Structures are given as C-alpha cells and as structure tokens.
Amino acid sequence: MADSEDIFLRAKHRTFSGLTEDAESKWTGPFFFIQAADPQLGLMKAWKEGDCEGGGDEWAEEVELIRRAVEAVNQLRPRPRFMVLCGDLVHAMPDTPFREGQERDLKKALKETDPSIPLVFVSGNHDLGNTPTPRTHEQFCSAWGNDYFSFWVGGVLCLVLNSQLFHDASACPQLKEAQETWLEEQLSRASSSAEPKPKHVLVFQHIPLYLKTPDEEDDYFNLKREVRQSLLERFKRAGVKAVFSGHYHRNAGGLHDGLDMVVSSAIGCQLGDDAHGLRVVLVTDEAIVHRYVSLEQLSVGGADRDLQELLQG
C-alpha cells in the first residue's frame, strides 16, 4: 500500500481492499494462509504477576515473538495469501493505561510483514471490552478497520465476525442487530444458487463456539450454549466448512457434522502446554487442512516442511 498505515485499515464498507468478490470470486486452485491469535501485548507479565486486571505494563516479550513470527512468515514460499489475527491484539482494555503504547508497538512490529501478504484483523474481548459500547467499538474500528466484514480469496468466501456481540451486547444492542442482519444476508447468499458460488465458506472470530464438543457446558472460553447452537445450525445450513478462533490460549476444537471448529493457541502468552506459534491452513478443492506450527519450527523452516506435507496429503 502507498501509505503503510493503510495495511491496518483495509477492512472497510464490510469488505476488504484487494480481496473483493469482483477480484477473487473464482477458484484458482489450492492455496494456503496463516491464522494467528492472541498476540495480546502485556499479558505475559500480567499473567506471571497474577494481576491480569491491572498489570501488563511491559510487553517486550510479545513484541519479540511477533517479530519472529513476521520474519518467518515473510520467508515462506510460496507466500500465504493472507494472515489473519483472531483477536486480542493487545491486553489493555479500552480507555486503560498502556492501551495506546501496546497498539503502537504492535503496529510497528506488524509493519514488517511483506506487503504482498494482507493482514486481516479480528476483534477480541480485550480489543473491545468484555461488554462493548458504541465508544469502544468506534475506537477499534478507527484503529483496525471494520469489526465484521467479508472477503474473497481464490473462490473462497471468508466471514470475519465480532464474537463479542454474541457474548454480551447489552450496552450496544443496535450494533448486535446490525451484525445479525448482515450475517444472515451473507449466509443466505452463500447457501443460495446465486453466482458466484463459493468453493468453501470460512468464518473467523475470537471466541470459539466450543472447545471440544458442541454440547459442552458454558465456560469463559466458549459461547453460551444457546448462542452456540444457533450459530452452528446457521453455519451448517450455509455450508461453512470451518470456524477459526483463538481466545483459549491453547489448541483445541474438533470436527462435528462436517464443521471444523479450530481453536488456535497464541502467538503471545500460553495458558497450557502449547508453544508460541501460528497455524498453517491449506485450502484445497475438497478440504481445509491445517497444522499448528511453533515459532521455533517456523524459524528453521518447519512451516515449509509442514506445508509440503499438507500439499502431499
């Protein structure tokens, strides 16, 4: 992009500059992309100190992890069609100390991404607040672009959703209603016979529908069962092949009734036994195949080997 700041604001008018239906609605053969989640600048120190509410005054560790990830992704050949960050970009909640500095340093690190790799941003609970308001919503959109939108890549329709509006929209009901109306239009069109017909439909959101099974108990890390079941039914009717999320800071998910719920661990703070990493996602004519790769593997070319294995089946 001519202006480097534009890489953070390509999601506008409910689509994504350069990855539009007109330009990308035809299937052109297999490709891959990178999914990342929870860089969450500031959480690593806050978690170590046991002060996740008020801590997070240092984030050099996360910045270094992001730089390593960007450097490794830039070296991939062929290049990924895009890289999507599935929320909790920073740890500081809206209108709290450290927010501005965390966003500034995250953008500085991400600016090193090769310009040929579009960056797609998904909103998380720390980006909008656990109970979003019109003000926090506007703050996010001003910094990172639309909170929900669609884009096309090589004949595949991708839907980016604001999962916080599924979680708690009590302070912004009109925003929830607007996303619901838009989402229903997108899903209805995807399931219709209208052209262009997507090869696959993928969804990206921060909070997982579920961690292991669709009927699991409600938890901080999943969507409430009533909301979850409704979305699952709608997604399946529309032919959604996979839902990619973060939030859990561990790898989880599972395939149920043809829909793959993919929960990826974090670039940043780990809450389980996984390594800091990214997910390599291969899109073929018939399937969506993916593998989580540690940053250590990425730095020594492990992602290239994994990609070749995925390509070979």
* Residue labelled with tokens 């009590």: 170
Task: Count Cα atoms within 13 angstroms, Cβ side, for 120.
Answer: 31
Tell me what pLDDT residue 1 has: 42
Tell me what pLDDT residue 119 has: 98
User: What is the separation, in whole angstroms, between the first and last Cα of the chain?
Assistant: 35
Strand arrangement, sheet containing 252-256: 149-153, 156-160, 201-204, 240-245, 259-263, 252-256
Tell me what pLDDT residue 310 has: 61
Q: Cα 14–180–212 angle (5° rounding)? A: 100
Question: H or E segment at 100?
Answer: helix 99-110
Tell me what pLDDT residue 194 has: 86
The per-residue pLDDT string of the chain (313 residues; one tens digit each, 9 = 90 and over) reads 444 448 999 999 999 999 999 999 999 999 999 999 999 999 999 998 887 877 778 999 999 999 999 999 999 999 999 999 999 999 999 999 999 999 999 999 999 999 999 999 999 999 999 999 999 999 999 999 999 999 999 999 999 999 999 999 999 999 999 999 999 999 999 999 888 999 999 999 999 999 999 999 999 999 999 999 999 999 999 999 999 999 999 999 999 999 999 999 999 999 999 999 999 999 999 999 999 999 999 877 756 666 666 655 5
* Residue labelled with tokens 């195949």: 289
pTM beyond cutoff 0.85: yes
Task: Give the residues across from 111 on adjacent strands.
Answer: none
- Its sign, for the CA torsion 69, 74, 80, 81, is positive
Please answer whether residues 148 and 160 qualify as being in contact, where contact means their C-beta atoms are separated by less than 8 angstroms.
yes
Tell me what pLDDT residue 312 has: 59
d(CA 203, CA 181): 16
How many CB atoms sit inside 10 A of residue 52's CB? Answer: 14
- Its sign, for the CA torsion 143, 70, 221, 238, is positive
